Each structure stands twice: as structure tokens, then as C-alpha cells.
Amino acid sequence: MEVQPPEGRLATGCGAREILDRIADKWSLYVISLLGERTLRFTELKRGIDGISQRMLTVTLRALERDGLVSRTVYPVMPPRVDYTLTDLGRTLLETVTTLVGWADRNLEAIEAARADYDTRAQALRALTEGLPD
Amino acid sequence: MEVQPPEGRLATGCGAREILDRIADKWSLYVISLLGERTLRFTELKRGIDGISQRMLTVTLRALERDGLVSRTVYPVMPPRVDYTLTDLGRTLLETVTTLVGWADRNLEAIEAARADYDTRAQALRALTEGLPD
DNA sequence: CAGTATCCGAACAGATACTG
DNA sequence: CAGTATCTGTTCGGATACTG
């Protein structure tokens, strides 16, 4: 993978925005992270992603499959068995996604502190404005 | 920043999910990317992010400010002037975000090809199923 | 097990009008 | 310039019921 000289600044105007919106949502990030470790079945993914509903997992997996990031293998057995794994393209995303997820994990407290601080200030400001004439 | 041994697997269950959902949306990513280059004013950001509405830019900036990723400086002049810049915390996100945005940019075509392929297969499958008895 | 289908409330996001 | 406020259509996403 070489450097892309003609890129330079962000292509905010082009179709990259739509792509980003697809892959950079919380469920997709977690699916990619988990599949980065190994191939998983539907239920394993569901158990691995706390709080995801069956519907959202299905929707997310279909979108990732459509985008060519995840491949889906159906075994015609009873009970059914479906394996999900990252494609080569999907694997090129893995490092970035892992970094991002790790960042969120490490900076959880800092962000929550910032929020508490912001909320306190906002409330203090509101108290000052309270009952003031227009 | 040292390695975090107790992390190990993904903390999918904890509050990191909510954090990810906040920062990993298309507008936040673009705002962070742009502010990574330099401090910008509201209108400069708006012009730099193609397709964002005034409302969404405001909402996004407020959220990023609340999370302690972006700082907002108001100059009490007329006409008003407000500068937005990344905080130290925000700057720790920059490299990852830049990588992600760059990835989306570079792989636009591959993804669109995958989609076209998927859609073709889906349609072919539907054609086979067409009019079949239950 | 691995889904699909449907319903429905909640959150999101654009358009528009107004303001210090 | 840099917003806020409001209204409204759209999408998201959970709950539930059903299936090969």
C-alpha cells in the first residue's frame, strides 16, 4: 500500500462520507473487532456484543457482507450453522478499528470527567442567567 | 501511554460502546480531521464539510466540546467570532481518525464494486426463487 | 441455530425563521 | 457571524412472533 499523493486534504465532498457512515457505527466496529480475533458464528457474535439485538446484528452483518468486509458461509446442516469471517478487505480495516475501540476503552474516564465538568459549567451558567430580565 | 495489560479482549459490555457511538459518526470524524490541520471558525468548518447542515454542525461541535475533545473560544466582538480547536485529548484521536478517513477514501471503489456484486447475486437468487411453489 | 417479518415509539436530521 | 428554536418527515432500533 503506497502513499497517495493526490489525496492531500480530506475528500469530504465525495462518496467516502457515505462509506464512513456505514463502517463507523458502533455495531460494525464491534463486529469487525470480534471477527478480527477469529471466525465466529451468529450466536457467538451476539453473545460477544453486549446489548445488540438479533435484528441489529443481522442488519449489521448484511451491510458488512454487502460492502465486502465480511464473508458469510452457510453450512446446510440441521440445526443451521453460519460462519462469519473478515475478508481480505475487512482485514485491512482491523488495525484502525482495534485502535479506535481501544482508545474509547482507555479514555472512558477522561471523557466522562469532561462531560461532568461541562454539565456543571452549563448548569452554573444557567443559574446565573436565571430570572434575569430580557 | 503504556500498554494496558488488563484490557485484553474488547470491553464490549462497558461504557466504551456509548463513547464509540459518539465519536464514530461521520460528522464527528470529519470535524476532528479538519481540526487536526488547524484551528477553524464555525463557517470554515461548515464550508469544509460538504453536506453538513448548520444544525448538525452545531450539535456535533457541542457534543465534541462536552466530551472534552474540542475546545471552543468565543471572542466578544461584532460580528461574533468563535474558534474551534482540538484539545490534547482530541489530538490523541487524530491519527486513528485520519487513518480511518483515509481508508474510506482509498477503498471507495472496492466497496462499491463489492456492493454491485452483492446486489447482482441477490437479484440472480431472487430470479431463481421467483414463482417457485412453497 | 439463524434467521425473517411486522409493528411502533424514539431519536435523528433537514428546512425554515429568528437573533445578539 | 454564529448560532437558537421549532416543526416535521425519515430512519433507527427494540420487542415480538414465526420458520426451515
CATH for B89: 1.10.10.10
Q: What is the pTM assigned to this prediction?
A: 0.88
A74 lies in a domain? yes
Residue B134: predicted pLDDT: 46
CB contact under 8 A, A66 and B119: yes
Cα–Cα distance measured from residue B35 to residue B87, given in angstroms and rounded to the nearest whole number: 10
A109 lies in a domain? yes
Residue A4: predicted pLDDT: 36
A2 lies in a domain? no
* Statement: the CB of B80 is under 7 Å from strand D: yes
Place A134 in a pLDDT band, splitting at 50, 70 and 90: very low
Taking the CA of residue B91 as centre, how many other CA atoms within 13 Å lie in the half-sphere pointing to its CB?
Answer: 9
Taking the CA of residue A74 as centre, how many other CA atoms within 13 Å lie in the half-sphere pointing to its CB?
Answer: 3
* Residue B8 confidence (pLDDT) above 90: no
Q: Does A45 touch chain B if contact means CB atoms closer than 8 Å?
A: no
Range of the structural domain that residue B115 is part of: 12-129
More confident residue, A3 or A54: A54
**b/e per residue A15-27 (b: at least 16 CB within 10 A):** ebbebbebbbbbb
What are φ and ψ of residue B99, in 5° steps?
A: -60, -45
